[in-house]
Structure 1
């Protein structure tokens, strides 16, 4: 019973993050599953992909209704990452859990620092170069598959910093990228999905879906710059904690 309560609480937080920030779901779900619910690194990353894929797809529909999804760029970005995500997921099955945790922390920390210190490319919005979108999408897909995340915490910085997209459009578009990448990464982990504790994953996912709706309303009341700072600070704190744990 305690596990279900913790899953519900964590699911609410993950849903809020995805709805408001267009990412951060996996980067919060993975440590919650490991440190609060007792999952191993492989089980946690697989469960996080299930949770985030379903939650992101739900949140995507709401953002799309408001015109905050750049479909052409998002689909190009996501499609470029499908094969790398599958290959990364297959590789992760042969890597020690501590190394996966450390890799997760390093990637999250790098994204957080970029969000805090890098400035958006002036005048790039609306003039996305396909080659740049493909390269960024492929890199994101590989990382998504390997460390077992939906990739929103990397997709948002990439869409803002590399492709020059405005923050609110990046939030909506990242949900498209997250959904596609999560499903691709899950395809390479299909054999481990049946072994998940669905008594925990089910409530976790259900509450996350509900939380995404509340998160979207919250995000509409906060400026894009403030969202970016909040997103980065949360990432940095989680990354520091997980890196310390991995090397301890």
Structure 2
């Protein structure tokens, strides 16, 4: 299979994940670029950020059209992550690849655990109340967070900005769990809102890497990969509409656990 065809296939999967789940794009793109397309780890991280930024634009437009975006929450979340993203982007090329890979796997596993815990909590609440649970405490009916959520947003955003800059991913695999578990947004609104954060964090981290580290992009791979990812992201929203929020959370968690296991195995073997 040629590199172009493989890049198209990988890009389509990344786009579907980002469009349907509001994350998983970078966490899938980096391993695909390194292990399937033979891109050097440092270049893969930078190329992944470019792919995720472009794909987020298409996915965000799709979700915004159905009103599934909390713009204020997303903007505050992303703004808090910009300074840490800049600092972490500068440090990324100074750490051994094995350290970055291990950190990547650990963060993905923690995010999966948070999502599964959120699903169980929602399920118990629904069974106890005998009906679908309403907005969680601190959440307005439209999915916006209350005063407690506003205080948690900057702290969570700063941590995720650092993850984005350090690992070369959009951060959606951590943004969605934080929006659902910490800020109590409904799953579908969390998916749309996460794309605001992903786009801003990815653009900032990509610009910092290119400006300060002399990082490069694999243009031969970037074109077909990003093109297929954008098309996949557009269809991802339609795919998400066919499943419940709980089903999406479980799928997201399984995806993260599989990626974490494969990355950790690559370090140990």
What is the alpha-carbon distance in structure 2 between the residues aligned to residue 164 and residue 234 of structure 1? 22
| C-alpha contact 2:210 2:216 (8 A) present in aligned 1 | no
Pair 1:199 & 2:220 matched: yes
Deviation for aligned residue 1:23 = 0.5
Deviation for aligned residue 1:62 = 1.2
- The count of aligned residue pairs is 248
> Could you say which residue in structure 1 is the equivalent of 2:136?
122
Over residues 62-105 of structure 1, what are the superposed CA-to-partner deviations in whole Å (9 max), with x where a residue is unaligned?
11111100001110000000110011111111011111111111
Deviation for aligned residue 1:194 = 6.8
> Could you say which residue in structure 2 is the equivalent of 1:223?
244
> Could you say which residue in structure 2 is the equivalent of 1:36?
36
Name segments (4+ residues, structure 1) moved above 6 Å: none
Structure 2: unaligned runs, 5 residues or longer: 123-134
| C-alpha contact 1:125 1:166 (8 A) present in aligned 2 | no
Structure 1: unaligned runs, 5 residues or longer: none
**What SS does the aligned partner of 2:217 have?**
coil
Pair 1:19 & 2:19 matched: yes
What is the alpha-carbon distance in structure 2 between the residues aligned to residue 77 and residue 225 of structure 1? 23
**What SS does the aligned partner of 1:35 have?**
helix
Pair 1:148 & 2:168 matched: yes
Deviation for aligned residue 1:193 = 7.3
What is the alpha-carbon distance in structure 2 between the residues aligned to residue 69 and residue 13 of structure 1? 23
What is the alpha-carbon distance in structure 1 between the residues aligned to residue 108 and residue 84 of structure 2? 18
| C-alpha contact 2:49 2:206 (8 A) present in aligned 1 | yes
What is the alpha-carbon distance in structure 2 between the residues aligned to residue 216 and residue 68 of structure 1? 10
RMSD between superposed Cα atoms in Å:
1.5
What is the alpha-carbon distance in structure 1 between the residues aligned to residue 66 and residue 58 of structure 2? 14
| C-alpha contact 2:43 2:215 (8 A) present in aligned 1 | no
TM-score (norm 2): 0.89
TM-score (norm 1): 0.96
| C-alpha contact 2:46 2:215 (8 A) present in aligned 1 | no
